[in-house]
Amino acid sequence: MKEIKNICCIGAGYVGGPTMAIIALKNPGIKVNIVDINEKRIADWNDTDLDKLPIYEPGLKEVVAETRGRNLFFSTDVDQGIQDADMIFISVNTPTKTYGKGKGQAADLKYIELCARQIARVAKRDKIVVEKSTLPVRTAEALKDILSNSESGFNFEILSNPEFLAEGTAIDDLLDPDRVLIGGDDTPTGKEAKNTLSAVYEAWVPKDRVLQTNVWSSELSKLTANAFLAQRISSINAMSALCEETEADVDEIAKAIGMDSRIGPKFLKSSVGFGGSCFQKDVLNLVYIAKSYGLTEVAEYWNQVIELNDYQKRRFADNIIKKSYNTVNDKKIAFLGWAFKKDTNDTRESAAIYVADHLLDENAHIVVYDPKVPAEQVYTDLEYLKNHDPEEIRKRVSIVNDPYEATNEAHGIAVLTEWDEFKSYDWAKIYSSVLKPANVFDGRNILNKKALEEVGFNVYNIGK
């Protein structure tokens, strides 16, 4: 087994940043270089003010404080990072394609391919190359092709090591993972590479939680895990619609079914819809892959998970309109939360974006308060959909730093993210400043419905 002294990670994002920080923390003998072409991002990672790190994750700044400058480094010099490394993690973005074949479903692998070509060009010795980004099945083959056709003549072992961390709990997930999955070839050099990477994790993860598989199983396991998790949310959200028509309560149902050990209690929280950079992208990717093998029924089965999620977001927006006497034209709707879940500043695919977009179709004014999301991000998210002009968006949407200002004189309040602080607001004070009837649409079922009703609010939940 090779001893690793130097690791390079290409991509200083939500996955690469925290993962490498923990690898560096637990392996003080390994020098870890994170490289990225985005100069601003690297400058932010190097900022002496740890509150300026480009990613907000509970516990992250403490880990960076301990490791940065010791054995964790951030740089824009990608070539140097590649040259120095024994092992290279590729952790660049793999968004859904927005053009050409597979548009809207397939993963866009152009960033991965660029990395592979760059490695082939600048490497001066053998390397282990690890796919960290979520990738469609058989991407390793493309990587291998590019690397083995390079003129260098060096040996590149390709491993798949998907990341299962969830944002907001990244540090805990990394410190205590349910499992670490490492896929690679079953050749002698492939096995050696798998053992070498296993040793990096075994610095803190119990050996029996480090699984080795073939490369295809590893790639497909990641897509399958995300598809199953997303499917649970769509399943409970489907039930929420039925609960609202009957007198059943979706939280009571979730508790009752979750006690069945075959089902389990996690990931059964009904909501305004799932967001995040992974679920939709990975399920669509699975749909695309199934279709490309002619497996129409399989593709349709998984596509329904996305359709139901779109329905849930639309249903929430439609309910706001319906309860506002069927019009939100020029009415002020306060949004509490914009991030796709609590404890992160990430807004990718957040349900809030789609709910806001739908309300903008109806000429609403939206005032957003989120404890971690900057104003420009809200505008970027809405502009990206291209359904409304940037001027119109800036006219109709404002972002404030104070929840009481957001809710002042609002015709309705919508909770889009489950930030804990929303629960402890002075709701009596908020009631006195909103327009009546005072409607709260709790898209996360986090507020104390009874207490708010006693204050005078009408509270509309999901699945109740």
Torsional sign, CA 64, 70, 74, 78 = negative
User: Is there binding between residue 233 and ligand UDX (CB under 6 A)?
Assistant: yes
Catalytic status, residue 278 = yes
C-beta separation of 351 from 274 below 8 A: yes
- Kindly state the smallest distance separating residue 426's Cβ from ligand UDX, in Å: 26
Compose the 327-366 pattern: x for residues touching ligand UDX by CB under 6 A, - for all others.
-------------xx-------------------------
**Binding site partner of 214, from ligand UDX, ligand ADP, none, Cβ cut-off 5-8 A by kind:** none
What is the CA angle 124-126-129, rounded to 5? 110
Bridge-partner residues for 74, per DSSP?
A: 34
**Binding site partner of 115, from ligand ADP, ligand UDX, none, Cβ cut-off 5-8 A by kind:** ligand ADP
Element (H, E) at 335: strand 332-336
* Residue 340, marked binder: yes
- Kindly state the smallest distance separating residue 180's Cβ from ligand ADP, in Å: 17
- Kindly state the smallest distance separating residue 292's Cβ from ligand UDX, in Å: 23
152's tokens: 């260098």
Angle, helices 296-323 vs 351-361, to 10°: value is 60
Member of 33, 71, 93, 345 binding ligand ADP (CB under 6 A): 93
Residue type, 179: R
Residue 331 CB partners (closer than 8 Å, separation 6+): 324, 364, 365, 411, 412
User: Is there binding between residue 194 and ligand ADP (CB under 6 A)?
Assistant: no
User: Is there binding between residue 10 and ligand ADP (CB under 6 A)?
Assistant: yes
105 in helix, strand or coil? coil
Region near ligand ADP per CB under 6 A, out of 57-65, 109-117, 135-143, 350-358? 109-117
Nearer to ligand UDX, 266 or 386 (CB): 266
C-beta separation of 446 from 416 below 8 A: no
d(Cα 447, Cα 422) in Å, to the nearest integer?
8
CA 32 to chain centre: 24
Nearer to ligand UDX, 43 or 256 (CB): 256
Residues 145-174 touching ligand UDX, rule: CB under 6 A, are 163-167
Tell which residue, 162, 160, 78, 154, has the closest CA to residue 114.
78
d(Cα 464, Cα 313) in Å, to the nearest integer?
16
Member of 71, 133, 212, 280 binding ligand ADP (CB under 6 A): 133
Q: Output the known binding site for NAD(+).
A: 11-16, 36, 41, 92-96, 133-134, 167, 278-281, 348
Which positions are catalytic? 278
Provide the binding-site residues for ligand ADP, judged by CB under 6 A.
10-16, 35-38, 41, 78, 91-93, 111, 114-115, 133, 277
